[in-house]
Every structure is written in structure tokens, then in C-alpha cells.
Structure 1
Amino acid sequence: MQPNFLIRRAVQLGLAANALRPLRARSTSVPAFFAGWLTSELAPQFLALTAADTAVHLARHGVRDRSTQVGLGLAAATAVGLGASIRTGHGARDEIERALTEALGDDYAEELGRSDLGLPWSELALPFRMGAPDVQVDRNIAYAPGGKRFLLDVYRPSEPVTGAPVLLQVHGGAWVIGNKEEQGRPLMRYLARRGWVCVAINYPLSPAHRWPAHIVAAKQSLAWIRREIASYGGDPRFVAVTGGSAGGHLSALLALTQNDPALQPGFESIDTSVQAAAPHYGVYDFAATSGSPASKYRLESLLARRVFAPDRDPVSHLDDYIAASPLDRITSDAPPFFVIHGRDDSLVPVREAREFVRRLREKSKNPVAYAELAGAQHAFDVFTSVRSAHVVRGVARFLDHTYLQWKAAQ
């Protein structure tokens, strides 16, 4: 008997199954996310590991005992599941491209002069390697007083540039954890190589800092960009914003509350407009006004307890939560949006993104692209994978197109 081999194959099959069909109960959402996220985005690596482990076991023990025979069956089922995850991840290319053509027109790629649908095989082989010799990073620049939570990093081409478009990256982490080094780096690295200047920020975290400290800090970083980014080669007149999860919430809110004096205490006269937004798996129904049970649970269990001050409960201070909710701040002046969400997101259900996009399209006079990615969990873009590589290139095409449209209108 070889029980360890059988246990390994059973665990791997469970992970592959959860990646394809995540557990849906609220009590299992966090473990389902972690297991499904890593397995689906690293499916090629897990497939190779399964094959190697199985081959080594067979070379040592053969197939004589019953546990090995059962384990081989489990390994075969795992390979089928992981293969399905790989195919689904690669399908993001068509999902992204369909979203862009629907929003920007069938000829948008011709206007760009490129389609750029290939995959970065060297990066896929080393998915957690984030450095790039052709990208310069200026680290830990203070954008406002207050210490390390008010620092930013600037990613830019190693060769000097002038007048480059700017991307602001806002990290996620449920408004309570996270930092600027952890998210958005594949996108920033790719854009910097293409001549963009990218800015990744820290911001105050709860519960030490209560709302609206998070969005005020994000707007302070925009004020810094307006003042200082030209010295790094950026054009302060064109700033796009992106972020995932809580960063998706903050980036969407930045785009929808441009120059709102209530969120700019002491710097009300500074231009905090953004010219495009590309939030990923964001929280949009902050005040639970849609009636979604998941949004209501998040409001009561996290936002009211940890993010807002204890005396700002959502019953008697609902207006404060609505003011912080992208879903309730949409106007016709919203900039171009590219909303991206995973269909299998265990932490922020996809219906929240669908409703946000529906309302955006009802009111906004600018393009609203929406890509709903089959098989994608929360945080699918943190490191390089087949899916995230397609997403990065699609977001870059959206931003480049929006920038060209903006330049033509100047």
C-alpha cells in the first residue's frame, strides 16, 4: 500500500475540482478563494507537478497495489480538470477582445496599429518574478505627510520619456491589509515597457484609520501626480486609474467623484479628475443599496465594524455609505471604464459587477467595456498566468485607445 501517493492525488483532485466549481457557501468563501485562485492561475504548473509526482511513483513502485491504481485514476481525473482550467484561462483572450470590440468598435485595434494577443512565455515560466531590467522603479516617495502609508513607487521606462500617459495603481486588501508592492505589477511592468509612467500607492488602512481616510489619501496621490509626475516623464493631464478588490472600489470611486470637495479636505481646488478607469474584481455596492445578501453581509460584518467609525452605523448614517459607494455615484460624466470580473469570484460575487456595469451603461456618455472571465477567481491578476497575461494586454489596449482618443480631442 502507498497511502501517501493516494492522499496527494486526492488532495490535488479536490483542488482541481474546486477551481472548476468553487464551493459556494459563505462560510467556505475564503478557503474556496485561496484554493481555487492558486490552482486555476497555476494550472500548468500543477499539471506538471502531478505528472512528475505520478511518474516518479510509478518508477519506484509500479502499479501492482490497489492504492496506486486508484491514485492513477485520481491523477487522470486531476489532469482532465487542470487541462480544463488551462483552456478556460486561455479563453480570456477572446473574452477580453470581445469586450473591447463591443465597447470601442470592431476597428479599434486598427486605430492602435496592433492587436498584441501573444503570450509572454518566459514570464509564464517564472510567474512570480516581477523585476524587469528595462523598467526603472523609484521607490518610497512621500506623496503626503504621514509615514509609510503615504508612500508611492513610480514605474517608468529605463530610457527617459516625456509627456507619457500615467496609470495610478491602488492595491486591494479589504481596506485593512496590503501594500503597493503586492498587486498590479504585471500590468505596470508591461505598460512601462510601452512608454507609460505608472504610480503604485500605499494608503491608510483600517481599523487604525477610518473612512474616508482611504479615498482622501488616494486623491492626495492624484494631487501629487498633478504636481510632480512631469519630473518623472509623465503627463499630468492624462491619468488612468486601476486596482483590484478594495483597490477596485477605490479606483472606481476616484473616477466617479472627480473634484468632490467633500473628499478633498484642504486641497479642494486641486484637479483630481481621471481620464479612464479599469477596476478589477472591485467592490461596487458599498452601501448594499442593491439588496444583494452578499453586499449586506459585507456591510454589516466588515465595513460597519472595521472600516467606518463605530459611531457611523449604516442604519442612521446610510448617506455616508452611499457617498462611498461607486454603484450610487454614477453620473453621465463618468470617464471611459473597463470593468473586469471573474465569474467564479468567491469574495465579491460577479452579479455586483454586472449591476455596476448596467448602471454605468445607462448613464455614462463614454464607453463602458465589461469582461466577465469564465473560471476566474478573485485576485486573478496578482502574478503572471495565462489568464492574467491576456488581461494585462487587453487593459493596455483599452488604455492606449482611450489615450489616443483623448489626444485627438486636445
Structure 2
Amino acid sequence: MPYLLLALGALALLLAVNAYLPRPQPALLVPSFFAGWLAIELAPHLLAAEIAGLAAAAALGGLDGRPGWAGLALGVLGAAGTAATIVAASRTVVTLRESGAPLDLDPEGAPRYPRSHLVVPPLCLIPRRGVRVDRNVVYRQEGRLRLKLDVYRPREDVRPEAGGALRPGLMQIHGGAWVIGDKREQGLPLLNHMALQGWAGFNVNYRLSPRATWPDPLIDLKHFIAWYREHAAEYGADPDFLCVTGGSAGGHLTALVALTANRPEFQPGFEDVDTSVRGAVPFYGVYDLVEPGPWPVPMGSTRLMERYVVKRPFATDREAFARASPVSYLRADAPPFFVIHGSKDSLIPVAEARRFVAKLRDASDAPVIYAEMKGGQHAFDVFPSYRTARVVEGVERYLTGLHRAYEQDRAPRAPEDVARDIA
């Protein structure tokens, strides 16, 4: 039993150290990410398990030898590290407020994120009470190609003919390194919450590599916007108001969708459709495939991008990767952005978001808000953790501000304008 206690203590300390200092080495990158992801976003659950495990092992004779006492010491250090992770997450509201994101809920308030989901995270897979989900709606069909989406909206029907206003729309783009992922897996905490605030959310699938070749995913998402313009009212949504969000590869695509509005090369056969959006909220995205910056080598030169996504040699066709980079499309008339990234992201370094935000602020006349989640890992918002709940509420307040500016027929000029729109 002393050696079991030693093993439990060593594991607790290893998880804490990895959460604070994730391993960037290629051989350890994926296991380090998954371990850190779980340890950070499920830290309260992990802390309870660590304390229970250490106490049980000690009570069953784990302290009968020196290895057991050493294990207990290691376990206490590990539990302290896990507790520090919880403290870091508890500052999410401070981080969001310092970023300029408007956080004040309406006085007769929009509902807060349910605490039951923080205790039992899998509950986020079930539509919340009052939310209607229309699944597997086909938005693009050409030959054997059938692309589908899920619609999240309030159960109450909108009747414009009776004076009911159409709802604002939100497009959710899943991540998965452009090769995996599905609408059923990501964005669920946000979409459920937005639906309860009166939004219509559209969780959209797109073609994945290696079957797809860039820019197929972006063209698919433009097809969705064309579909939305035509069919939004059928789901109670306003065809003229659509924002976009997504994480990781979805964050990359979110930025591209927002920055490449109405570019004919990405709208073959439907060049005349307005594909602009009113605002963008990319989570932990990739924004530059050409310049290494925070990467050891350019992202475009990786095996993933060269062989499976863009399918071109980086060394001889850098332009192809530039065309797939959001930073290539920065412009003064870009829509407002709210960029979100975790400071401990081991898959996409946080410096990637920082340099994108700096360049976007220089180029855009619209407000650009940046929130860096202290201690946050990649994909932190997949779990309905405390951090996720506060970020979801902050994003909803931000997007509500954009919609109210739209209703007043004006554009927000600065982050504080968005806050005033909510007051």
C-alpha cells in the first residue's frame, strides 16, 4: 500500500506540473495536451478525486513505510497545484472585464450558465430546457455531397406577421485540425446558452481533409451563408444579421469567413451573394501559416498542412499557404472581432493570437477585443467548466451588444461602444 500511495502522489504532482508547463516536444505533445486539458478544465473534479484517493490509500496502510510518506508529500504538492489551477480559472471574469468585453447582464437578467453543468459536464450534450434543436438540416447538396447543420433556437416560435422580431443568427464552426470533428461535439455550451438568450445558432459541418483540399472548407461555409440568407427566416432568424464563431481549425475558419466577405474566388457559382458577417469570435485559432513567429517552423510547412490540407509543397508555393492565412485579408472594413485564447495552449501557442490581434488592430476600423485566459488550455470551452461558463456569458453579452448596435442602424466604433449598447 505505501507504494500505491507513492504512485498516486507522483501522478497528482505530474498532472499539476504538466498543467502549468505543458510539454511542447512532438512525442509528448498530444498526451501532454489531453492530460492538461482534463486537469485544468476539470480541476475541481480532479482535486476531489486526488484528496479521496490519497486519504483512502493512507487509511488502508499507505503510511506504514517511507514510500507512503513520500507519496503523501508529493500528493499534497500536486493537490496544491490543482487548487492553484482553480484559483487561476476563478479570475476569468477579471480577465474578460480587463479585455474590454462587456459583462454586465441585463437587470432582469438573462439566465446564468447552469451550475448543474459545472458539476456534471456531460449534461451539456443534452439541449437545455427551452431550447429546440433541429438536427441534420441539409444546407448544401450537389451530387453525392450532402452537408448538414444543426439549428439551436428558443422553443417559442417567431411570428413576424404578428409583430415578432426575427432573431439574430450565430454560425458555429467546429475544430479538429481540418481533418476530424463534427457539429455534435463542439460549441454546445455556447449554442445552448445563446438560444436561451433569443438567438438562433447554426452548428455547421464542412468537408474535411484529406478528402477535401483547401479552400473546400471555406467554400462550404460560404455556401452556408448563402443558404442562411435564403432560409434563415424559416428558423426565426434575421437573414441580414449573422455572426460567426469557432475554435482551433474552426477559429482559423471563423477569421477567414469574417475577413474574406464577397471574394469571388471563394464563392464559385454564387459570386453575387453577400457573405459578410456582423461580428467574429474566434477561439484559439491559427491565423498565419507562412511566418513561423511562435512556431519552430511555419505552420504551413508541417506534414499536416502540406500533405493533407493544402496539398502543396510549402517551399515552392508559399503563396498557396498565404491565401489560406487570415492575416492575408486584414482590411479597414473588417467586422468587429473578439479573439479568445488560453495562455497555456500547448497546441497553438498564445503568441499566435497576440500577433494576429496586433495586426488586426492596426488594419481594422472596427473594435478588436482580446481576452487571454490565464491558465487556459487549447479547447478549454468544450467542457462546461467555470471558465467556460463565464466566457460563454461574456461572448453572449458581446454579441448582444453588436446586435443592439445593428438594431440602432449604426456600427460600434470601439469596445466601450459595445458595452454601452448593452447598458
User: What is the TM-score when the length of structure 2 is the normalising length?
Assistant: 0.90
Paired residues of 2:300 and 2:321 also in contact (CA < 8 A): no
Q: Does 1:331 align with 2:331?
A: yes
Distance 1:304 1:332 in 2: 31
Q: Structure 1: which 5+ residue stretches go unaligned?
A: 102-107
3-state DSSP of counterpart to 2:16: helix
3-state DSSP of counterpart to 2:63: coil
- Shift, 1:111, TM fit: 9.7
Q: Deviations over 1:163-192 (max 9, x none)?
A: 100100000000001111111100001000
Q: Does 1:156 align with 2:159?
A: no
Name the counterpart of 1:304.
306
Name the counterpart of 1:261.
264
Name the counterpart of 2:117.
123
Distance 1:87 1:377 in 2: 15
2:233 to 227, 230, 235: 230
- Shift, 1:342, TM fit: 0.8
- Shift, 1:397, TM fit: 1.0
Distance 1:400 1:372 in 2: 21
Q: Does 1:246 align with 2:240?
A: no
Name the counterpart of 2:42.
42
Q: Deviations over 1:120-164 (max 9, x none)?
A: 321101112121121111000110015686110000012223510
Name the counterpart of 1:3.
3
3-state DSSP of counterpart to 2:397: helix
Counterpart amino acid of residue 118 in structure 2: L
Distance 2:400 2:100 in 1: 12
Q: Deviations over 1:268-324 (max 9, x none)?
A: 1111110000000001012x2355544515533221111013xx3233332222121
Instruction: List 4+ stretches of structure 1 deviating above 4 A.
Output: 108-119, 146-149
Distance 1:127 1:110 in 2: 25
Structure 2 CA distance for partners of 1:133 and 1:109, relative to 1, 3 Å: closer
Report 1:308-327 matches (<5 A): 308-309=310-311, 312-327=312-327
Paired residues of 1:116 and 1:393 also in contact (CA < 8 A): no
Paired residues of 1:12 and 1:78 also in contact (CA < 8 A): yes
3-state DSSP of counterpart to 1:224: helix
1:202 to 194, 200, 205: 205
Name the counterpart of 1:137.
133
Paired residues of 1:135 and 1:155 also in contact (CA < 8 A): yes
Name the counterpart of 2:162.
none
Paired residues of 2:301 and 2:315 also in contact (CA < 8 A): no
Counterpart amino acid of residue 184 in structure 1: G
3-state DSSP of counterpart to 1:143: strand
- Shift, 1:201, TM fit: 0.8
Name the counterpart of 2:384.
384
Structure 2 CA distance for partners of 1:201 and 1:118, relative to 1, 3 Å: closer
Paired residues of 1:117 and 1:393 also in contact (CA < 8 A): no
Paired residues of 1:119 and 1:386 also in contact (CA < 8 A): no
Number of positions where the alignment pairs a residue of Structure 1 with one of Structure 2: 401
Distance 2:25 2:103 in 1: 41
Distance 1:253 1:300 in 2: 20
Counterpart amino acid of residue 142 in structure 1: V
User: What is the TM-score when the length of structure 1 is the normalising length?
Assistant: 0.93
